[in-house]
């Protein structure tokens, strides 16, 4: 039976390769479905596509009277349900079962074992002979070998008949992890990745033949090689001791950022949280959050971390067997009550992670300010408390120049600004780290569009939006401006307001822009944004707001 998305099997009735009728049982990723279609000269028409209950087996019964086709199904071969009846003219030339995977390379392999096909209107005379006995003989596993490096192992073995292959492995005989290969070969190879160096592992080899007979497992142990690297290749931008939430939690993620040297020669790059399974990491550049060659950003859901100390071990494996490791102690505090009003006064004498939370990038403290240590895509620092609802934030900011990748693919125009009711990035695909900015409250920024710079105020999902008048090349580099953003809850959604003026001049009385967003999130912290430019942020002043606007 199909058990994974896009696996399918059924019956095919063909006039020629472009004109045929098919009746399938397939898996859509959630469960089984019954499907029928007719194709004429390459143009297909769906006849039925309906969900099936959870079944251990299924019987299909297709009848044709003239040009009328009827599909029935049964779970036991006794009680039948009519699923579809339709009319389709076809000059039948051949018919038979089919099986496969309909999703290309992303679909799980699917193998069908067909016992027999018999046409009662054209019987074989004489019959093929005596009925063959069923296959009740299990495959035999032999010649098992393991070749281990510091972080991986290759397990090889043979079977005396075509069979699947899988290896359970772990540091105890409870195993806990499994790796397998596709197909049903006689010679088998399975690679185990993300292993700890100088560690003894237990393994168990298993498999089944095409008739479903399971082999007697073969067990053993192996020990990975000792590490050959010093850890110097892994640069942790904020050190091997990092704390999160000492004031309050700003978002759903904990981010550990840095750079790994010689990334072109990596054969594997991963981390383990508290000794758990290895999780693969991406390295830059990726045209988004991983700006430069070798950059990495470990985004760990805060819910996966224990309150108190946690251990994150990063492993970089290189061609030739060289390996580098680094271990970070991550301390997660219980969320305290972060009251307002509050001012974040940047101090070079206190670790940055104790004053705010770096989401992306290398940042530097000095002269009472926070400045980008290197430019890049979405250099972000979050401040405050993710539980805050209504508040007003004021930040002086200075642009010193654009980074070398301003206006590049996916980056577009550089910008500086503030996000409010920030909750953290959202995973919308398999990318690591996650990159989507929504859902969120609103973003207020000044963006240097090639067509003319201007301020913008954008709600959740980029709507609603207000924009300023284009100002040519934009504000002067080295000049400090002040941005103030306010968020106030409404009976449905929230109101966002912003104003923007040059430091040293009078604050405008009126708000520059205001939007009402019915789709707003209910709470969140503040995020400072420096996108593809060199920027400095001054002290962050936050005041509470009460009552409806």
Instruction: Say yes or no: 249 and 161 in one domain.
Output: no
Instruction: Say yes or no: 270 and 191 in one domain.
Output: no
Q: What's the CA gap between 354 and 171, in Å, rounded? A: 36
Instruction: Say yes or no: 387 and 472 in one domain.
Output: yes
pLDDT band at 380, cuts 50/70/90?
A: very high
Compute the 3-state secondary structure of the chain and give helix, strand, coil in percent, each to the nearest 5. Answer: 5, 50, 50
- Give the closest residue to 408 by CA, choosing from 434, 375, 365: 375
Instruction: Say yes or no: 322 and 360 in one domain.
Output: no
Residue 193 has pLDDT above 60, yes or no: yes
Residue 169 located in a structural domain: yes
Q: Which of 223, 257, 276 is the last residue of a domain?
A: 223
Instruction: Say yes or no: 365 and 455 in one domain.
Output: yes
Residue 120 located in a structural domain: no
Please enumerate in sequence order all residues whose Cβ is within 8 A of that of 199, keeping only pairs 6 or more positions apart, or say none: 171, 223, 224
Please enumerate in sequence order all residues whose Cβ is within 8 A of that of 451, keeping only pairs 6 or more positions apart, or say none: 470
CATH at 47: 2.60.120.200
Residue 119 located in a structural domain: no
Q: Cβ distance 108 to 183 under 8 Å?
A: no
Strands 241-244 and 279-280: unpaired
SS3 130: coil
Instruction: Say yes or no: 486 and 520 in one domain.
Output: yes
Residue 274 located in a structural domain: yes
Residue 92 located in a structural domain: yes
Q: Give the domain range for residue 421.
A: 342-544
Instruction: Say yes or no: 303 and 390 in one domain.
Output: no
Residue 102 has pLDDT above 90, yes or no: no
- Distance from the Cα of residue 515 to its chain's centroid: 32
- Give the closest residue to 459 by CA, choosing from 513, 503, 507, 509: 513
Residue 111 located in a structural domain: no
> DSSP letter at 508?
P
pLDDT for the residue 23: 93
Asked whether the CA dihedral 82, 88, 94, 96 is positive or negative, the reply is negative
Residue 105 has pLDDT above 60, yes or no: no
Give 541's Cβ-side CA count (13 Å radius): 8
pLDDT band at 365, cuts 50/70/90?
A: very high
Report the DSSP beta bridge partners of residue 506. Answer: none
Prior bond of 335 cis (ω within 30°): no
pTM of the model: 0.63
Lowest-confidence segment of 13-27, 49-63, 110-124 by average pLDDT: 110-124
Residue 106 located in a structural domain: no
The edge-to-edge listing of strands for the beta sheet with 177-181 is 177-181, 165-170, 200-206, 218-223
pLDDT for the residue 4: 82
Burial class (CB in 10 A: 0-12, 13-18, 19+), 8: buried
Q: What are the pLDDT digits (tens) for 392-405?
A: 999 999 999 999 99
pLDDT band at 127, cuts 50/70/90?
A: low
Instruction: Say yes or no: 384 and 520 in one domain.
Output: yes
Report the DSSP beta bridge partners of residue 479. Answer: none
CATH at 207: 2.60.40.10
Q: What are the pLDDT digits (tens) for 324-339?
A: 999 999 999 987 789 9
pLDDT for the residue 107: 66
Q: Which of 223, 243, 274 is the last residue of a domain?
A: 223
Q: Cβ distance 38 to 45 under 8 Å?
A: yes
| Phi, psi angles (nearest 5°) of residue 217 | -65, 150
How many other β-carbons are positioned within 10 Å of the β-carbon of residue 313? 17
Residue 220 has pLDDT above 80, yes or no: yes
Instruction: Say yes or no: 464 and 396 in one domain.
Output: yes
Instruction: Say yes or no: 299 and 181 in one domain.
Output: no
Please enumerate in sequence order all residues whose Cβ is within 8 A of that of 317, keeping only pairs 6 or more positions apart, or say none: 149, 150, 151, 152, 266, 267, 268, 269, 323
Residue 503 located in a structural domain: yes
pLDDT mean over 156-177: 95
Q: Which of 191, 223, 255 is the last residue of a domain?
A: 223
Number of independent structural domains in the chain: 4
Residue 548 has pLDDT above 50, yes or no: no
Instruction: Say yes or no: 410 and 498 in one domain.
Output: yes
239 conformational bin, left if phi > 0, alpha if psi -120 to 50, beta if neither: left
Inter-CA distances, 452 with 21, 437, 512, Å: 59, 24, 18
SS3 455: strand
Instruction: Say yes or no: 428 and 460 in one domain.
Output: yes
Report the DSSP beta bridge partners of residue 221. Answer: 202
Q: Cβ distance 483 to 475 under 8 Å?
A: no
pLDDT mean over 62-82: 91
């Amino acid at each position: 039976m199909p058990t994974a998305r896009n696996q399918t099997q059924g019956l095919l009735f063909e006039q020629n390769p472009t004109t045929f009728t098919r009746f399938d049982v397939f898996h859509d990723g959630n469960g089984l479905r019954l499907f029928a279609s007719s194709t004429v000269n390459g143009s297909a028409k769906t006849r039925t596509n309906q969900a099936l209950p959870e079944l251990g087996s299924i019987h299909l019964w297709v009848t044709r009277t003239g040009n009328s086709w009827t599909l029935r199904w049964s779970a036991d071969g006794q009680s039948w349900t009519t699923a579809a009846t339709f009319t389709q003219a076809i000059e039948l030339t051949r018919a038979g079962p089919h099986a496969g995977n309909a999703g290309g390379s992303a679909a799980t392999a699917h193998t069908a074992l067909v016992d027999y096909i018999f046409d009662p209107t054209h019987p074989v005379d004489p019959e093929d002979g005596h009925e063959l006995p069923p296959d009740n003989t299990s495959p035999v596993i032999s010649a098992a070998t393991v070749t281990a490096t510091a972080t991986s192992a290759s397990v090889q073995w043979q079977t005396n008949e075509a069979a699947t292959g899988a290896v359970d492995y772990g540091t105890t005989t409870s195993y806990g992890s499994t790796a397998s290969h596709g197909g049903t070969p006689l010679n088998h190879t399975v690679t185990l990745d993300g292993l700890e160096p100088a560690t003894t592992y237990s393994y168990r080899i298993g498999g089944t033949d095409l008739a479903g007979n399971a082999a007697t497992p073969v067990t053993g142990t192996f020990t990975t090689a000792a590490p050959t690297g010093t850890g110097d290749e892994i640069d942790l931008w904020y050190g091997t001791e990092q704390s999160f939430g000492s004031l309050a939690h700003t978002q759903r993620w904990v981010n550990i950022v840095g750079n790994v040297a010689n990334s072109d020669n990596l054969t594997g790059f991963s981390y383990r949280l508290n000794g758990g399974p290895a999780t693969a990491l991406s390295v830059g550049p990726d045209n988004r959050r991983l700006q430069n060659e070798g950059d990495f950003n470990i985004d760990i859901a805060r819910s996966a971390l224990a309150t108190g100390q946690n251990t994150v071990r990063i492993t970089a494996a290189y061609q030739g067997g060289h390996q580098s490791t680094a271990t970070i102690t991550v301390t997660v505090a219980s969320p305290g009550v972060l009251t307002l009003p509050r001012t974040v006064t940047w101090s070079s004498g206190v670790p940055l992670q104790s004053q705010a939370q770096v989401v992306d990038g290398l940042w530097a403290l000095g002269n009472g300010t926070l400045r980008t240590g290197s430019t890049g895509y979405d250099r972000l620092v979050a401040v405050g408390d993710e539980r805050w609802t209504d508040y007003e934030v004021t930040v002086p900011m200075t642009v010193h120049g654009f980074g070398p990748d301003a206006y590049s693919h996916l980056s577009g125009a550089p910008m500086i600004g503030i996000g409010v009711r920030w909750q953290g990035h959202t995973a919308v695909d398999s990318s690591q780290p996650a990159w989507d900015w929504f859902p969120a409250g609103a973003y207020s920024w000044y963006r240097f569009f090639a067509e003319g710079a201007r301020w913008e105020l954008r709600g959740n999902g980029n709507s609603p939006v207000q924009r300023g008048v284009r100002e040519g090349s934009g504000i002067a580099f080295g000049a400090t401006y002040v941005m103030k953003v306010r968020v106030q809850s409404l009976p449905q959604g929230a109101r966002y307001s912003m104003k923007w003026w040059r430091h040293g001049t009078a604050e405008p009385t009126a708000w520059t822009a205001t939007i009402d967003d019915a789709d707003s999130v209910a709470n969140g912290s503040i995020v400072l944004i420096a996108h593809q430019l060199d920027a400095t942020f001054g002290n962050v002043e936050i005041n509470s707001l009460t009552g409806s606007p």
